[in-house]
A and B are shown apart, each in its own frame.
Chain A
Amino acid sequence: MTTATTLIILGAALFGIGVVGFLTRRNLIIMFLCTEVMFQGVLINFVAMGLARGNLQGQVFALFVLVIAAVEAGLGLAIVVMLYRRRGTLDAESWRGMRG
């Protein structure tokens, strides 16, 4: 197994763990952290694929992923603060506005 393959599997594992966390945890902040873990997996994947292909594009994409992650964190956390101020709790279960 090459380094790239190992890294991709590592990335996939991080992504999977992030998914599990996102689905199970009820604290909004931790849910966000889980998405960051997923981002981390994606980022590793990009780098690994660049490595496998032997070029720099993977790293370029990884940098853009980094930018997106920063944007997402900034906005997402602003929203979390808003939600917290409105409800006084971080429990995701307290938001049921999407009920059909």
Chain B
Amino acid sequence: MEQMLVYLAYAAAALGALAVYAALPREGRPASRGVVLTLVAAAVGALLLLMGQLLGEAGQRVYFYVLSLLTLGGAVRVVTHPRPVYAALFFVMVVLSTAALMVLVGAEFLAAALVIVYAGAILVTYVFVIMLAQQSAPQSGGMFAQALQYDRDSREPMAAVLVGFVLVGTIAGVIVNYEWTGLAEYKTTAAEGNTLALGRVLLTDFAVSVELAGLLLTVAMVGAIALARKRIPQHDEGEPELAPGEIGKRVSPF
């Protein structure tokens, strides 16, 4: 019966999604594609939920891998998406799935903090800045129609990818066979729960660090205000003004 209730709730959510989607304004485009997408998403969600219910402990691992994949995929899109706004939104995805991973490994407080600080505060700042620094973009160019020239082009993709993935490979190669030894201190006691234990550790053993972090935030706030208030000349005197064609011209170091 309880199982049924869960599925009912899930179905209700899917219906709600459909309804809201149908109600959103759009200009003559048929709603079918959106409906299909929503239904597919609902189905995948239901499948996952079901798997979790059926497989138990193994289901946790399924969640874990799915969330890991989502994180990775989001990260790849952040890095590759030509338009900053979408990159920022994919980053939200990375943060959210990371937060879910944190919940899975028992770090609930950190998960909450991630969502609030990252997805809430920092990302909003990013979006603001993106809006603030918006440039008019060329209207032609297919998929990249809304992207600026310098967003459509990446510098040194070969070298960067090589280096980055050699780094990942090196670390992963070492880590897979590493034997961890446990340390007893700062252990969570099951009775307390993660948040209480973390708070206790933070405000006793790391109290000074917490104060320092607060101080650092204050300093950063003052610094950010000072930077933002500064009047900025359009071009500084020492620098030659670049011709429009010259801006964004790539210069290869290799």
Residues of A within 8 A of B (CB): 1-10, 12-21, 23-27, 29-30, 32-34, 36-37, 40, 43-44, 47-49, 51-57, 59-60, 62-64, 66-71, 73-75, 77-82, 84-94, 97
Q: Judging by beta carbons under 8 Å apart, are A52 and B180 in contact?
A: yes
Of A23, A25, A36, A97, which one neighbours B91 at CB under 8 angstroms? A36
Given A70-B121, A91-B247, the answer on whether A26 and B206 have CB atoms closer than 8 Å is no
User: Interface on chain B toward A: helix, strand, loop, or mixed SS?
Assistant: helix
Give 13 new A-B contacts, CB below 8 A, not counting A9-B171, A32-B126: A16-B164, A16-B165, A17-B75, A24-B157, A26-B153, A36-B118, A51-B106, A71-B217, A77-B129, A82-B228, A87-B247, A89-B247, A91-B150
B190 at the interface (CB under 8 A from A): no
Q: Mark B153-197, 1 if CB is under 8 A from A, else 0.
A: 111110111011101100110011010111111111000001001
Q: Mark B216-253, 1 if CB is under 8 A from A, else 0.
A: 11001101100110101111100100100001111100
Residues of B within 8 A of A (CB): 64, 68, 71-72, 75-76, 78-80, 84, 87-88, 91, 94-95, 98, 101-102, 105-107, 109-110, 113-114, 117-118, 121-122, 125-126, 129-130, 132-133, 135, 148, 150-151, 153-157, 159-161, 163-165, 167-168, 171-172, 175-176, 178, 180-188, 194, 197-198, 201-202, 206, 209, 213, 216-217, 220-221, 223-224, 227-228, 230, 232-236, 239, 242, 247-251
Q: How far is the CA of A10 from the CA of B70 in the complex (A)?
A: 11
Q: Judging by beta carbons under 8 Å apart, are A33 and B88 in contact?
A: yes
Given A24-B160, A71-B217, the answer on whether A82 and B232 have CB atoms closer than 8 Å is yes
Q: How far is the CA of A82 from the CA of B202 in the complex (A)?
A: 36
User: Interface on chain A toward B: helix, strand, loop, or mixed SS?
Assistant: helix
When A and B form their complex, what is the total count of cross-chain residue pairs whose Cβ atoms lie within 8 Å? 261
Which residues from chain B contact A13 at a C-beta distance below 8 Å? 72, 75, 168, 172
